[in-house]
Structure 1
Amino acid sequence: MGDARRTRAYIGSFTSAGGRGVLVAELAPDGAALEVVGESDAVADPSYLALAPGGALLYAVSETTEGAAAAFAVGAAEDPAPRLLGAPVPVDGAAPTHLALAAGHLLTANYTSGSVSVLPLAADGSPGPVADVARHRGSGPVAGRQEAPHAHQVLPDPSGRWVLAVDLGTDSVTVSALDPATGTLRPHGTTALRPGTGPRHLAFHPDGGHAYVLNELEPTVTVCRWDAAAGVLEALRETPVVPEDATGDRYPSELVVAPDGRFLWAAVRGHDSLAVLALDASGEKAELTASVPCGGHWPRDLALGPSGRHLYAANERSGDVTWFTVDQETGLPSRAGSVPAPAASCVVFG
């Protein structure tokens, strides 16, 4: 057991594919290595996680056909195993793949249903019954993947004024306003991206004025300008996240922006790589400078460690979390170690 000052990582996984649920790992004194110290299989397929401010509560989706969300009490030094707070709560949506906290509510992106659900949080932080479901509409040109909306991510913008939902099925990002009193989402606007790109996840630049959308069906990232005052996302250009000669499956999954805004990293499944993109001073131009092996197979998630000097890839099909030391001048990740984590799907630190 580590002491209370040791930083922890929480690893989500697919129990339906042999995962152990939510794993708790402690960060070693070197600031990089992980050691698993606890786990909970109380929720089926907790594929994506989010920590509450302060790190005492951990939220998880249950990426099942029924779809649910749950809260765990975490952080106790004497017992690292997550403790489930009540039963998982239905989200009125199928296969939730992502969740985020905003204005006293928990929001889930429901992939199969193509919707975003809003759940109010009780005084103890546990989610209550759904207050609102925003259903997306539309489709895209890629047969078998874009026959209907597929909300893949939902997150608040840095200003806290808006909620953005990234939809793979409709090649779009929807901007809404969340009413904290009622828990309802009011649609504000939609940004259309290039048809067939299949946007999956979005990350903001530290300046708060730019965002980057990682596309799953095309191995590219779309550079965008974000106007928080107006609530408008403007697509500027696309940049590849794999080399020109790359072949085979190339399905980008997650992206991370460096705290100083100089680099962007993206995980690519199939190609099993981590892309390094250099950002210019304006934040509006990205250039692929390197592509390195992810240390395993099928990197579903990518996270930056607390120091900003290490990246962690959750390699779903090889069943591990691999960490990398990042060169602060070039942004190049170098493999430094790994820990077994069957069917790993997500890593968060707190």
Structure 2
Amino acid sequence: MKKLLLIIALLSPALTFAQHKKTLPSTFDLVIGTYTTGASKGIYVYRFYEDKGRVAYLNEIDDVTNPSYVTASADNKFLYAVNEGPQGNVSSFTFNGHTGKMVLINKQSTQGADPCYVLEDKEQRNLFIANYSSGSLAVLPVNKDGSIAPLSQLVKDEGSSVIKDRQQGPHVHNVILTDNEKYLMYTDLGTDKVNIMRYKASKNPPLTPADQPFVSVTAGNGPRHMAFSEGDKYLYLVQEIGGVINTYANNNGNLKQIQSLSMLTPEMKGNIGSAAIKISPDGRFLYASNRGNANDIVQYAINPENGTLTFVSRTSSLGKGPRDFAIDPSGKFLVVANQNSDNVIVYHLDPATGKPGIVVTNIQVGNPVCLKFVPAE
């Protein structure tokens, strides 16, 4: 009986994904956010064909300052991008999935410095912005026409940690909502904490501290980005300064650490700079990126019984500074944005092992730092 249950547990994610895959469109738009301090002009859109990982340029919008993180609304009609700088803003755009055309609607101040992440709730009522340099979390309401209203709540972190040149104060970096959107969690690289809030869109303010208001990581590790497993049973956290991934069991907003793994090889020397973390659509594998001197993508298998990770593979990013990457919704391709070498690499993923294999596309884009897949109309 135990063997039968284990087989069912192993097959369940694959069966669920196979059912979901039938409803997937065959083409997507690949939206690329950039830093505009180099060769880039703003946000770029490419048509992505999931049959062979081919891409075709569609459109771009310039006169957008440092759109370093971009997200799409739940109905895919709008795009939102942070404008990273000393006086931070967030911009909204109409988005045509067929043509890739973007039109600016408006922008609002995030009341903080260097916003680096934006997330919208499913009901399209609020945007959540991570103001990195000023160490705050901003909440801005969204109107039905996609325009952004002025800030409604600002959660300001306090404190510091042990790496004096990196953690002299709070640095909010990433925001994530549970699937039921009752809880919001955000990382603070400067204070070595994952903060936990209750979220209720109809309340004023919408965010209040949870019963467990935060969890701390090992001092000096620097929490960066997070990913939930299906059903929010496990939370995975990549830590930028330490090059470490933590695994937490999640029980209604209460986190309990169950594993901590180094992403680095024993011979790794020099800068680390771990960055993005993503889970494959079928839930079998987790991937995370290293920048610094490593410039690679590390792959782990996820144990379906307890959520723990086991190392599978390590792949060169074929560039410098893989700040972000994405897995296409079909689960066939992994796309890596190499910020410091101005290229976006598309790898084919082995369907059995999940390992990145042959390179099918190399896109030349200036300072790419964010990748988003949006269904094409």
1:131 maps to 2:152: yes
In 2 relative to 1, CA 333–41 (structure 1 residues): closer, same or farther, beyond 3 Å?
same
| Residue matched to 2:311 | 288
| Residue matched to 2:102 | 82
1:261 maps to 2:261: no
Distance 2:237 2:312 in 1: 18
| Residue matched to 2:119 | 100
Judge which range, 253-262 or 216-225, deviates more. Answer: 253-262
Unaligned stretches of 5+ residues in structure 2: 1-24
1:226 maps to 2:250: yes
SS at match of 2:248: strand
Distance 1:336 1:242 in 2: 27
Aligned residues: 343
Percent identity, aligned pairs only, is 27
Q: Which amino acid is 1:307 matched to? A: S
1:163 maps to 2:187: no
**What are the equivalent positions in structure 2 for 1:293-304 lying under 5 Å apart?**
293-304=316-327
In 2 relative to 1, CA 29–171 (structure 1 residues): closer, same or farther, beyond 3 Å?
closer
| Residue matched to 1:198 | 222
Judge which range, 180-189 or 214-223, deviates more. Answer: 180-189
Q: CA RMSD for the aligned pairs?
A: 1.6
**What are the equivalent positions in structure 2 for 1:61-80 lying under 5 Å apart?**
61-77=82-98, 79-80=99-100
Distance 1:67 1:250 in 2: 27
Instruction: Say which of 345, 350, 375 aligns to 1:327.
Output: 350
In 2 relative to 1, CA 164–31 (structure 1 residues): closer, same or farther, beyond 3 Å?
farther
In 2 relative to 1, CA 135–218 (structure 1 residues): closer, same or farther, beyond 3 Å?
same
| Residue matched to 2:8 | none
Distance 2:200 2:232 in 1: 22
SS at match of 2:37: helix
Q: Which amino acid is 2:114 matched to? A: A
Find the structure with the greater CA-based Rg. 2
Distance 2:227 2:26 in 1: 29
SS at match of 1:85: strand
1:308 maps to 2:331: yes
Q: CA deviation at 1:259?
A: 2.4
Instruction: Say which of 331, 336, 349 aligns to 2:360.
Output: 336
1:9 maps to 2:33: no
Q: Which amino acid is 2:103 matched to? A: R
The question of whether the paired residues in 2 share the 8 Å contact of 1:239 and 1:288 is answered with no
Distance 2:159 2:307 in 1: 29
1:91 maps to 2:110: yes
Q: CA deviation at 1:225?
A: 0.8
Distance 1:40 1:70 in 2: 12
The question of whether the paired residues in 2 share the 8 Å contact of 1:35 and 1:339 is answered with no
Distance 2:145 2:52 in 1: 31
Q: Find runs of 4+ consecutive structure 1 residues off by over 6 angstroms.
A: none
Distance 1:191 1:65 in 2: 29
Q: Which amino acid is 1:46 matched to? A: P
The question of whether the paired residues in 1 share the 8 Å contact of 2:281 and 2:329 is answered with no
Distance 2:151 2:317 in 1: 38
Q: Which amino acid is 2:217 matched to? A: L
SS at match of 1:7: strand
1:349 maps to 2:368: no
Q: CA deviation at 1:28?
A: 2.8
Q: CA deviation at 1:68?
A: 0.6
Distance 1:111 1:330 in 2: 36
Distance 1:57 1:275 in 2: 32
Distance 1:116 1:330 in 2: 38
SS at match of 1:317: helix
Q: CA deviation at 1:76?
A: 4.9
Q: Which amino acid is 2:148 matched to? A: P
In 2 relative to 1, CA 326–283 (structure 1 residues): closer, same or farther, beyond 3 Å?
farther
CA deviations over 1:16-75 (Å, ceiling 9, x no partner): 233221001101363412222110123200000111112111110001110010111112
Unaligned stretches of 5+ residues in structure 1: none
Q: Which amino acid is 2:249 matched to? A: R
CA deviations over 1:131-172 (Å, ceiling 9, x no partner): 000011111111200111100001211221011111111111
Judge which range, 66-75 or 231-240, deviates more. Answer: 231-240
**What are the equivalent positions in structure 2 for 1:199-218 lying under 5 Å apart?**
199-218=223-242
| Residue matched to 2:341 | 318
Q: CA deviation at 1:5?
A: 7.3
The question of whether the paired residues in 2 share the 8 Å contact of 1:140 and 1:196 is answered with yes
Q: CA deviation at 1:263?
A: 1.0
